[in-house]
Amino acid sequence: MSRASTIQSRIFAVATCACLALTAAGCVKKSGDDGSSSGAKTEFGGKKPFPDGAPITDPPVPTTAPGNPLVGAKLFVDPESLAMLRYNVLKTQDPAKAAIIQKIAFVPQSIWMGNWNSNIFRSVAHLIERAKAEGSVASFIAYNVPYRDCGQYSSGGLSGKEAYQHWIRNVQAGIGADPALVVLEPDALGHFQECLSEEQKAERMALLNDAVRVLRQGPKTAVYLDAGHARWVPAEEMAERLKLAGVEYANGFSLNVSNYVTTEENLAYGKKISALIGGKHFIIDTSRNGAGPVEPPSTNPEEGWCNPPGRKIGALPTTDTGEPLCDGFLWLKRPGESDGECKNSSPAHQGPKAGVWWEERAIELAQ
C-alpha cells in the first residue's frame, strides 16, 4: 500500500534571496509569502478574506456538477516553481542540464496549499490573478486537514475542525468566481482506517463534506475529492468513503496523486468506483507514472511510494483523455520534489525532506 503526496513546501511567493541561487541540493521557498504587503485589502478584484472570528455557517447544497468542467482549459504554468527557478539558473550555467529540467518546469502542475501558507487567502488570490492575466486556470491541492498523513513524512494539518473550516473558506474566498481546479486532501480517505479514532473519522467526513460544498460555491471551481490509487483501497470500500465525504456535491474524484501506478490501471479502478457512485468523473495524476510502479513490489511497502528510483515522468497534462469519465490526465504532484526522507527505506530511496527540490531525481525522471 502507498500514500499520496508528501509535499510540504508549496508557496506562492515572488521568489527572492536563497531560491534565486538554487544549488544542486535545492531549496524550499519561504512559507506563505506572496510578495504583497500585509493587511486585509481588496486589491484582488475586490475579493475579501473570510474574517477572523466569523461564525461558521453551513454552506448551501451546490448545483449538480455536469460533464467535464475542464474541457478546453489552458492550465497554469507556475513561473515560481522550484523547477522553473532552477531552470532559470541552469540555462546559462549548464544548458544541457537546463534542457532536461525544462521538461518539468514548463509543464502545468498543481500548487499545494497547506500550513506553510501564512495567509492562504492572499496566496490563492495572488495566483488566481496571475493565471487570469494569461487566460489560464490554476490547479490547487488542498492539503491541510487535521491529522494529515497519519504522522508520516507529511504529517501536520490544522489543529481542529473550526480552524480547517476557516481555512477552506479563505481558499474559496481567494478563488471567488474565477476559474480554478481544487483537489481536496490527498491521503485523507486512503489513510482513513489507519490512525483515526471513531470521533476523528466522523470529524474528517464532516470536514470533507463541508469543504466540497464551500468550494463548489465558486461558479467556476471544479472540485475533486482524492481517492488514493488503484493499489491502495478496494474500489467498493473507496466508493463508500467517497459517499460519506460528499462526492455527490463534487465534480468527481482524483487518483494516483503523487504515486506511480499506471494510467491504465487507474482508469480501470476509476471506472469501477464511478459505477458505484452514480457515474462521477475523475482525474488521474500522470506526473511520475511513465515507467509504472516498482515491479515486483518491494518487501518494504514504503519503497513503493517513497522516492522509488527508476521512475519517469508520464503523459503530459491534457483535458482531452479520450475517456468519457476521465476529465484529465494532470500533473498533480510536482516531479523533482522529494517524497520525503524515506528513513525506513534503502539508501536509493532516501532523499531530502518532503517537497524539497532533488535535482538528481528530477533529471532521472525527465531523461
pLDDT digits (tens, 9 = 90+) for 252-273: 999 999 999 999 999 999 999 9
Rounded Cα–Cα distance for residues 340 and 156 (Å): 14
- Lowest mean pLDDT across 51-65, 122-136, 144-158, 171-185: 144-158
| DSSP state, residue 297 | P
Please state, in angstroms and rounded to a whole number, the distance separating the CA atoms of residues 329 and 162: 34
**pLDDT category of residue 288 using cuts at 50, 70 and 90:** very high
Q: Is 327 a catalytic residue?
A: no
- Asked if the model's pLDDT at residue 33 lies above 80, the reply is no
The backbone torsions φ and ψ at residue 67, rounded to the nearest 5 degrees and listed phi first, read 55, -155
Strand order in the sheet with 221-226: 111-113, 138-142, 180-184, 221-226, 252-255, 281-285, 326-330
Q: How many residues does the chain have?
A: 367
Among 34, 178, 187, 210, the active-site one is 187
- Reported as a single tens digit per residue, the pLDDT across 305-341 is 999 999 999 999 999 999 999 999 999 999 999 999 9
Residue 12 confidence (pLDDT)? 35
DSSP classification of residue 149: G
- Can you read off the three cell numbers belonging to residue 353? 525532506
Catalytic residue among 78, 149, 210, 285: 149
Residue partners of 173: CB distance under 8 A and separation at least 6 = 47, 48, 49, 50, 121, 124, 125
Greater pLDDT, 93 or 23: 93
Q: Is the peptide bond before 234 cis (omega within 30 degrees of 0)?
A: no
pLDDT band at 296 (very low <50, low <70, confident <90, very high): confident
Show me where the domains of the chain are located: 70-366
Catalytic-labelled residue, pool 33, 34, 178, 339: 339
Supply the pLDDT for residue 8. Answer: 39
Tell me if 225 sits within 8 A of 189, measured CB to CB. yes
pLDDT tens, position by position, 199-211: 999 999 999 999 9
Q: Any catalytic annotation for residue 187? A: yes
- Whether 58 is a known active-site residue: answer no
pLDDT on residue 65: 79
Q: What is the pLDDT of residues 142-163, one digit of tens each?
A: 999 999 877 666 667 898 999 9
Q: Residue 42 — pLDDT band, cuts 50, 70, 90?
A: low
Give the confidence band of 3 by pLDDT, cuts at 50, 70, 90.
very low
pTM of the model: 0.89
Select the more confidently predicted residue: 35 or 231: 231
For every residue of 40-79, DSSP letters joined together read ---TTTT--PPPTT----PPPPPPP--S-TTTTPPBPP-T
Could you tell me which CATH number the domain at 70-366 has? 3.20.20.40
